[in-house]
Amino acid sequence: MHYATIKNCDIANGPGVRVSLFVSGCRHRCPDCFNEVAWDFSYGEPFTQNTIDEILRLLAPAHIRGLTLLGGEPFEPENQPELVRLLRQVKSTYPEKSVWAFSGFTLEQLQSGKLCKKEITEEFLSYLDVLVDGPFRKEEKDLSLRFRGSRNQRLIAMPQTLQTGTVVLWEDWQTANRK
């Protein structure tokens, strides 16, 4: 796996100040994508344990609320195993930090087991606090939306969704009630 960049002070891709990892590789090719350069699976730097160590270091300050994964496409089959390895270490080291992921796939597509080994995707989803799902659609672009670019995209509260088996949408109050 490769990654395009790591932002250590991101306030646009989830609540609070976050560390954001932009992975490389995406087959969606959404028209008007904001990050076309990351479609190439070889773009950027190789993702290694040193990369994970750097992300863990960047997450350490108390003012950092969590980690956001985007890209490219975090849920491409080539990216999932490495991101699961990262998330195991993040959740072990910082269980109080939230994890968000953006995907052009819908939750239903991810849970179908057709994209990657089902157990890998299930583990990945289990680490998420919020999944922003669905492709960016130019015709549904809405700049007034918080943390997403088009009206078809959902902000899914993953712990509640996995617990109930029904999609539960994330609301700002869920963040306000966290430490």
Lay out the sheet containing 154-157: strands in order across: 45-46, 2-10, 17-23, 64-70, 98-102, 130-133, 154-157
**Measuring CA to CA, which residue among 158, 61, 49, 173 is closest to residue 100?**
158
Q: Assess whether the previous peptide bond of 25 is cis (omega < 30° from 0).
A: no
Mean pLDDT over residues 50-69, rounded?
98
Residue-wise pLDDT tens digits, 67-98: 999 989 999 999 999 999 999 999 999 999 99
CB atoms within 10 A of CB 144: 5
Question: Is pLDDT of 149 > 90?
Answer: no
Residues of 14-49 as b/e, b for ≥16 C-beta within 10 angstroms? bbeebbbbbbbbbeeebeebebeebbebebbeebee
Residue-wise pLDDT tens digits, 9-26: 999 999 999 999 999 998
Tokens 């088996």 — which residue? 165
The mean pLDDT value of the chain amounts to 92
CB atoms within 10 A of CB 104: 23
pTM to 2 decimal places? 0.91
> Residue 105's pLDDT is what?
95
Residue 156 contacts residue 130 (beta carbons within 8 Å): yes
**Measuring CA to CA, which residue among 138, 139, 173 is closest to residue 155?**
173
> What gap in Å lies between CA 2 and CA 178, rounded to an integer?
32
